[in-house]
Amino acid sequence: MTDAHWDLRYHWKRHLAAESKNTCEWNIRVGGRTSVPGTYRFVHRGNSKSLLGKIKP
């Protein structure tokens, strides 16, 4: 599953000048492909932007 999947939603919001908050929601459908029991992990690989606008991995 990727962030392009309809059952996964990622919300990003600026909190302070140098801080962001995000939320990840996963809509698990009973009997669906994404309702398989198990342990799952969300991984976020993103970049950061300094106050001067420089983007770093």
pLDDT of the residue at 5: 72
pLDDT of the residue at 34: 65
pLDDT of the residue at 50: 81
Q: Cα(46)–Cα(28) distance, rounded to whole angstroms?
A: 24
Contact indicator for 7, 25 with CB cutoff of 8 Å: no
Say what the pTM is: 0.52
Cα 2 to Cα 35, 49, 53, 56: the distances in Å are 15, 23, 28, 22
pLDDT of the residue at 39: 85
Closest CA to 33 of 3, 12, 5: 5
Tens of pLDDT along 4-39? 677 888 888 888 877 888 888 888 877 777 677 788
Domain ranges in the chain?
8-56
